[in-house]
Amino acid sequence: MMKPMTSTMRKLMWYLMAWLLVGVVITALLVTTANTSWLAGLGFAIPVSLIYGFVAASAYYVCRSLPMAKRQFFLTLVIFGGASLISGLMWLALCYAWNYLAFALRQLIGFGPVAGSMTLPGNLIPVTPQMSVMLFAAGSCLYLLSIFAHDVVIAFENVRLADRRAAESRVQARDAELQVLRTQINPHFLFNSLNSISALTSLDPAAARNMTLELAQFFRQTLASSEKELISLNEEIRLCEHFLAIEKIRFGKKLQSDIQIADAAQMALLPPMLLQPCIENAIKHGIRDLTEGGVIVVRALIRGDWLHITIENPVDPVPGDTVGNGHGLKNSRLRLQSMYGDKARINWTRSNDTFLVEIAVPQAVN
């Protein structure tokens, strides 16, 4: 919500300082054109300027009542011109009132005319008809300047408000996109796990029970981290270890893992459920197709301002019919792009008998 220049103490102080400067300028003009002393001029111009500053603050509401997008020349001229003329009359009346009141106060406390001033009887400064015209014109111009200043302030506030709303919209869109990507990942893993449990129920009930317990533990930790935008690498590795425990029940000794995390990388932050799809991909499209199985190697370290993670697994040199469409890796890439833009990356390459996933995330320590 946009507010006038006097809405906060800081703004009010700057606003009053601006009108103090206006009072000094008017004093200089009085000293130059009306043979008024600096003391009398300041005593007249400073209070009048400060009081009129609050009258001129109404220009904010005049500007708000006529947004720039809806302004027409004639209507703008009538409203702004009329407001300026009325304010000029108010300024002139204020000048007359304060000029007489200040003189009366000086007489009351026993001060005579200020040295060097040529005043009319009953006045602090001389107010001739020509001076009245000048004061009226000055009041009208000051109000027009106030309208211009408030127009500029409102334009800047509109730009800032538009930028803030755009940023909020981007954040909401990113959060919605991330939520969609998460819903694509979690059910995918759940369905695969339930299929494995179903297959083991008749073959190895004990293994099926252990897999169910591991699955429950995995999703318990997943739910705990699902509301977080970032988790530590240490937490993510624990989730992956539960996933591997589930899959090792299914594949037995055919599936091995080697996880090497540098001490400096333990508390580095990354999006939750980022590594699990990569490991799942390594099993589904690598280990599962190999008769002798293989080892999934996960390494993580901090290099400069980046967290670097690699997931490497053996693959069949001759791809079979189970080559996937890479949804898990593509979702991981989309999540990183949504959160980091071009500041993070994930790439994957396949050689003759090895598949390698490389992830780089800007370093953040929990």
DSSP letters, 238-257, are HHHHHHHHHHHHHHGGGEEE
Asked whether 62 and 79 are in contact (CB, 8 A), the reply is yes
Q: How far apart (Å, rounded) are the C-alpha atoms in residues 20 and 45?
A: 9
Torsion of the alpha carbons at 159, 160, 166 and 169, rounded to the nearest 10:
-140
DSSP type of residue 114: P
Residue 1 has pLDDT above 50, yes or no: no
Q: Identify the CATH number of the domain defined by range 204-362.
A: 3.30.565.10
- pLDDT, residue 242, reads 87
Tell me the two tokens of residue 85.
């003329």
Q: Which residues make Cβ contacts (< 8 Å) with residue 57, sequence separation at least 6?
A: 4, 5, 6, 15, 146
- pLDDT, residue 120, reads 42
Tell me the two tokens of residue 46.
């400073």
Q: Could you tell me the pTM of the whole model? A: 0.53
Q: Tell me whether strands 294-303 and 255-261 are parallel, antiparallel or unpaired.
A: parallel
Q: How far apart (Å, rounded) are the C-alpha atoms in residues 187 and 256?
A: 25
Nearest to 307 by CA among 232, 199, 256, 220: 232
* Helix, strand, coil percentages in the chain from 3-state DSSP, rounded to 5: 65, 15, 20
Asked whether 87 and 56 are in contact (CB, 8 A), the reply is yes
Q: Which residues make Cβ contacts (< 8 Å) with residue 58, sequence separation at least 6?
A: 83, 87
Sign of the Cα pseudo-torsion (179, 182, 188, 193, in order): negative
Tell me the two tokens of residue 149.
């200043």
Domain locations in the chain as residue ranges = 9-165, 204-362
Model pLDDT for residues 102-151, shown as the tens digit of each residue? 767 766 655 544 444 444 444 567 777 888 888 899 889 999 988 888 88
Model pLDDT for residues 277-323, shown as the tens digit of each residue? 899 889 988 998 898 899 999 999 999 889 999 999 999 887 665 55
Model pLDDT for residues 272-287, shown as the tens digit of each residue? 888 988 998 899 889 9
